[in-house]
Amino acid sequence: MSRISRTKRDKLFQKLKDNDYRCPLCNAKIYFWKKNTYNIDHIIPKSKGGSNDVENLQYTHTKCNHLKANQDIEQGDFVAFHKMQHELNIKKKLENQDNNCSSTNN
């Protein structure tokens, strides 16, 4: 996304504040003091005709935005999607640990 005006950024921040500083996708808090953990997302992706109007923009966690990609996802659907991704990541980590333990025991 190109540079965003201060006025638009202030309006986006107010939307986030009204939502108790929570990511609209995963509902977890967004901490602005942690660099590179948040960014601006298009609710309706630009690739699907979404605009740069404030009504179509939202602050989200960077990870949530990357998982969402160019999908038009409602929060409930995204939470289920995010949970599935998280469970897959845990499963992969456990498999890697098992493989590392197997190789060191041989």
Within 10 A of 44 (CB to CB), how many other CB atoms are there? Answer: 13
The answer to whether 56 and 72 are in contact (CB under 8 A) is no
Query: What pLDDT, on a 0 to 100 scale, did the predictor assign at position 63?
Result: 86
Within 10 A of 49 (CB to CB), how many other CB atoms are there? Answer: 9
Domain locations along the chain = 6-101
Fill in the DSSP letter of residue 36. T
Structure tokens at 82: 């995010």
Residue whose C-alpha is closest to residue 25's, from 95, 85, 91: 85
CATH class of the 6-101 domain in this structure: mainly alpha
41 phi and psi, to 5 degrees?
A: -115, 145
Query: What pLDDT, on a 0 to 100 scale, did the predictor assign at position 34?
Result: 79
> What pLDDT digit, counting tens, does each position of 48-67 carry?
899 999 999 999 989 888 88
Q: If you average pLDDT over every residue of the chain, what do you get?
A: 80
> What pLDDT digit, counting tens, does each position of 78-89 carry?
667 667 666 766
Instruction: Band the pLDDT of 2: cuts 50, 70, 90.
Output: low
pTM of the model: 0.67
- Rounded Cα distance between 17 and 25, Å, is 15
